[in-house]
Structures are given as structure tokens and as C-alpha cells.
């Protein structure tokens, strides 16, 4: 049975280009790039070239690029930096629909000094409302993601960056879901930008952070002078080169499969609700509120048919309570328990999307039969 993977927003398979780069670097570039001999200098040169490539893709100086273990590390480091350098008792503005690594870091370092930014009717940050708060000098920093990992809804990060710059307020943008799916143009206007390689076909445990041009004092990890003094620790050269290879290989996706799926799903399961249907969204993502039955039952039933989907953020799987993202958007608690996220990637065909719609219709019939007691089939939940 073919397995159709529909959870790219959680992680993507390793691209062939990334795998080849990783294997080559593991074989030939395993020396510590900070060692003093010439053989290590060759490794350092490859690392510098990778940084130069990333800097070129984002149109920034190489000194702004910091390689790390991923967006979670970078997000935490940025809030720690703000907590250490911003004036005491100042407040920061954070979107309530952020990834858990941002929400937890904001609350850990700033507690009640976090101002949760207002959302518009589509679930994106209300830029006009943010501009008003900024004009009243209420915020010392702002954090708003580029694209939501659960809903796929896009924030107008470019307008937010402009508004923050006009008030001299540093702006952090978690672009983990944007990078690899949408153009990188103008992302360098964000003061702090974070991303994770495994979201776009690189290896897990590797990521990047773009710092402001004036970035003195930022330090993610102490204990060494690596990454221009911003992050101590021997660099994962193989992982970094694989990440860069994946980033160079990405192609802009198409919404054709997702849209065809939603049309077909409307025919076979007309009671399904699509979150953010009227909003600009990632072309690969659909967050569905199923008409009945808990998310976990749908996930198990679909997996038996070869389709892997999720209920939302992979970083929240297994936790108790509703999705903070859907709660912030005003979704009713019962509906949250029936949420399914489907997200595709470069290996997903239109036929795969249509097969998923057909499988959902089959699962609905099967789950309904179980609820009626007309079958002995049991799905463990």
C-alpha cells in the first residue's frame, strides 16, 4: 500500500540534493573548521561559502547569518536577548497564534509584560491595530510569524516590519513555514528572522537566524567564538551544507492540488469547515474542522489507508488542552477537537490530494458505522 504523506508542515523528507551534500561533507569535511591546520581551513572555507550563499539568497551581509540547531533555539535566544537588553519593565507584542517555541519563550522571559496582538477577521495579525499600539509607544519589541504552521494563514510581515521600523522597535519574524514555500524577497527587512532546515528538505537539528545589521551583544550560546561570537559550539558543517543545498533546490509550490482537494471534499463531505478559507494562505496547507469524531480517530483511520495527516502543530502533539492558535481565532472548543491539518510538499501529486478526499469519505462511513454499532471494527484511540 502506498503511503501518502500529508504532514510537510511538521517536517519534510530529506531532499536528494541535501542528502548528497550531507554524505559528501561527512566523508570529506569532517574536521573541526576552527582547527589551526590547513586541512581544517578547507572545511572553514566551505562553511564560509555556505554562509555567503545564504546571505546572497536573503540579500544580507554574511555577518548577519548565524547557523544553529533550528528555529526553536533561535526563537528562545532572541527573547533571552531582548530580556537582557531591553529597558526594564518594557512590554513586547506577540501574536497569540505563534509557534509554541515563541509563545513559551515570550511567557518565560516576559510573563505579564507580553501584549497579545489583535487578530483580524481572518486570523492574521491586525496591522492597523498593531500600528496604533506602536504609535502609543507601548511596545519595546514585536514578534509575529510569517506563515502559521497550523492554519497556513499568512501575516503581512512586510507591513509589520515597516511599522516597527518607523517606531524604532525591533521585529522578530519566525519564517519557518515561509522559507522553502514562498519567495525570500524582503525578508531581510525583518530585524530578526528564524528558520529550520527540516521544514524545506534539509536535515533536522540545523537552522538559521538572521540578525540585525547592528547585532553586537547577541549571543545564543556561550563558550566559544564561533558564528562571529553569536553562538558557541563546533558547527555542524555537513548539516549546514545540506541545509544550503535544500534551500537552493526549493521551487515555489502550486495550490492546484490543495484546491482540487477542497472542491472534491466539498462534494463528498460538505459539512467540513476550512479554517481561514478567505485569508491568504500557504498553497500546501488546509486546516479542516471535521463534521464529527475526534481528530485522533480520523488520523488513525486515515493511517490505516496509507494517509498521514496531523491535528496541528507537531510540537504540541500529546499535550492536553485545545490549540492556542484556534483558541485565539475564536474557534469553539468542541470544533477544535475535530481539527485535521493536511500539508503537502514537492512529492505530492494532485492525484494524491484527490485520493485523500476519497479516503476521508470512506473513513466517515466507517466511523459512522462504528458509532452505530453496525461493525465490530475497533480503532484504538
Domain end: 193, 217, 249, which one? 249
What rounded mean pLDDT belongs to the chain? Answer: 93
- As annotated, the active-site residues are 315
- Strands 207-210 and 192-196 turn out to be antiparallel
Say yes or no: 223 and 273 in one domain.
no
In CATH, what number is assigned to the domain containing residue 297? Answer: 3.90.1150.10
Q: Is the pLDDT of residue 286 over 70?
A: yes
Task: Report the pLDDT value the prediction gives residue 128, as an integer from 0 to 100.
Answer: 98
The answer on 20 and 73 residing in a single domain is yes
- Amino acid 7: pLDDT: 98
- Report the pLDDT value the prediction gives residue 319, as an integer from 0 to 100: 53
Q: Do residue 227 and residue 120 come from a single domain?
A: yes
Tell me the pLDDT tens digit for each residue of 35-56. Answer: 999 999 999 999 999 999 999 9
Question: What pLDDT score was predicted for residue 313?
Answer: 60
**pLDDT mean over 272-290:** 96
Beta-carbon contacts of 367 under 8 Å, excluding residues fewer than 6 positions away, are: 292, 293, 297, 298, 301, 379
pLDDT, one tens digit per residue, over 298-310 is: 999 999 999 999 9
Nearest-angstrom CA–CA distance, 295 and 82: 38
Contact 279, 371 (CB under 8 A): no
Do 58 and 160 fall into the same domain? Answer: yes
Check residue 314 and give its pLDDT.
55
pLDDT for residue 252: 84
Label residue 315 by pLDDT band (50, 70, 90).
low
| Residue that finishes a domain, picked among 233, 249, 265 | 249
Residue 193's SS3 state is strand
Q: What does 206-241 look like in DSSP terms, one character per residue?
A: -EEEEPPSS-TT--SB-SS-TGGGTB-S---HHHHH
**Does the residue 319 lie in any domain?**
yes
Take residue 7 and report the three cell numbers written for it.
Answer: 504532514
| Among 249, 265, 297, residue at a domain's last position | 249
Q: Which helix (H) or strand (E) holds 360?
A: helix 350-372
Domain count, the chain: 2
Dihedral (CA of 68, 71, 73, 76) sign: positive
**9: nearest Cα among 125, 153, 116:** 153
Nine-digit cell at 53? Answer: 550563499
Q: Is 190 helix (H, G, I), strand (E, B) or coil?
A: coil
> Each residue of 207-252: pLDDT tens digit?
999 999 887 789 999 999 999 999 999 999 999 999 999 999 998 8
The CATH code of the domain that includes 145 is: 3.40.640.10
- The confidence band for 2, taking pLDDT boundaries of 50, 70 and 90, is confident
Q: Is residue 149 a part of any domain in this protein?
A: yes
Identify whether residues 180 and 32 lie together within a single domain: yes
For residue 34, how far is the Cα from the chain centroid?
A: 31
Is residue 312 within 8 Å of residue 288, measured between CB atoms? no
**Same-domain pairing of 49 and 171:** yes
User: What range defines the domain where residue 355 resides?
Assistant: 4-12+252-372
* Same structural domain, 213 and 245: yes
Query: Is 379 within the bounds of a domain?
Result: no
Q: What is the pLDDT of residues 337-363, one digit of tens each?
A: 999 999 999 999 999 999 999 999 999
Domain annotation covers residue 20: yes
pLDDT digits 0-9 by tens, 61-105: 999 999 999 999 999 999 999 999 999 999 999 999 999 999 999
Render pLDDT for 142-200 as a digit per residue (tens, 0 to 9). 999 999 999 999 999 999 999 999 999 999 999 999 999 999 999 999 999 999 999 99
Q: Give the number of other Cβ atoms within 10 Å of residue 169's Cβ.
A: 18
Q: Would you say residue 31 has pLDDT above 70?
A: yes
Amino acid at each position: 500500500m502506498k503511503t501518502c504523506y500529508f504532514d510537510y508542515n511538521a517536517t519534510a523528507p530529506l531532499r536528494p540534493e541535501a542528502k548528497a551534500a550531507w554524505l559528501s561533507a561527512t566523508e570529506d569535511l569532517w574536521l573541526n573548521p576552527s582547527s589551526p591546520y590547513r586541512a581544517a581551513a578547507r572545511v572553514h572555507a566551505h562553511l564560509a561559502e555556505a554562509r555567503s550563499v545564504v546571505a546572497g539568497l536573503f540579500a544580507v551581509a554574511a555577518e548577519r547569518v548565524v547557523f544553529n540547531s533550528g528555529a526553536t533555539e533561535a526563537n528562545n535566544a532572541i527573547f533571552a536577548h531582548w530580556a537582557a537588553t531591553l529597558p526594564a519593565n518594557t512590554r513586547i507584542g506577540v501574536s497569540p497564534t505563534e509557534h509554541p517555541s515563541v509563545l513559551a519563550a515570550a511567557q518565560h522571559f516576559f510573563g505579564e509584560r507580553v501584549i497579545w496582538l489583535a487578530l483580524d477577521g481572518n486570523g492574521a495579525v491586525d496591522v492597523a491595530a498593531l500600528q496604533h499600539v506602536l504609535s502609543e509607544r507601548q511596545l519595546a519589541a514585536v514578534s509575529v510569524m510569517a506563515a502559521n504552521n497550523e492554519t497556513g494563514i499568512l501575516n503581512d510581515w512586510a507591513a509589520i516590519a515597516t511599522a516597527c521600523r518607523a517606531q524604532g522597535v525591533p521585529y522578530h519574524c519566525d519564517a519557518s513555514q515561509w522559507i522553502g514555500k514562498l519567495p525570500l524577497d524582503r525578508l531581510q527587512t525583518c530585524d530578526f528572522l528564524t528558520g529550520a532546515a527540516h521544514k524545506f528538505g534539509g536535515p533536522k537539528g540545523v537552522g538559521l537566524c538572521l540578525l540585525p545589521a547592528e547585532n553586537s551583544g547577541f549571543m545564543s550560546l556561550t563558550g566559544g567564538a564561533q558564528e562571529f561570537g553569536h553562538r558557541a559550539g563546533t558547527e555542524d558543517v555537513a548539516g549546514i551544507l545540506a541545509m544550503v543545498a535544500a534551500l537552493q533546490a526549493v521551487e515555489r509550490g502550486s495550490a492546484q492540488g490543495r484546491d482540487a482537494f477542497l472542491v472534491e471534499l466539498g462534494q463528498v463531505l460538505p459539512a467540513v469547515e476550512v479554517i481561514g478559507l478567505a485569508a491568504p494562505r500557504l498553497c500546501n496547507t488546509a486546516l479542516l474542522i471535521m463534521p464529527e469524531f475526534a481528530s485522533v480517530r480520523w488520523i488513525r483511520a486515515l493511517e490505516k489507508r496509507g494517509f498521514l495527516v496531523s491535528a496541528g502543530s507537531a510540537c504540541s502533539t500529546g499535550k492536553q488542552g485545545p490549540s492556542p492558535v484556534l483558541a485565539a481565532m475564536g474557534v469553539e472548543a468542541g470544533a477544535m477537537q475535530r481539527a485535521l491539518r493536511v500539508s503537502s510538499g514537492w512529492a505530492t501529486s494532485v492525484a494524491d490530494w484527490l485520493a485523500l478526499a476519497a479516503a476521508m469519505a470512506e473513513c466517515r462511513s466507517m466511523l459512522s458505522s462504528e458509532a452505530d454499532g453496525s461493525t465490530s471494527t475497533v480503532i484504538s484511540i
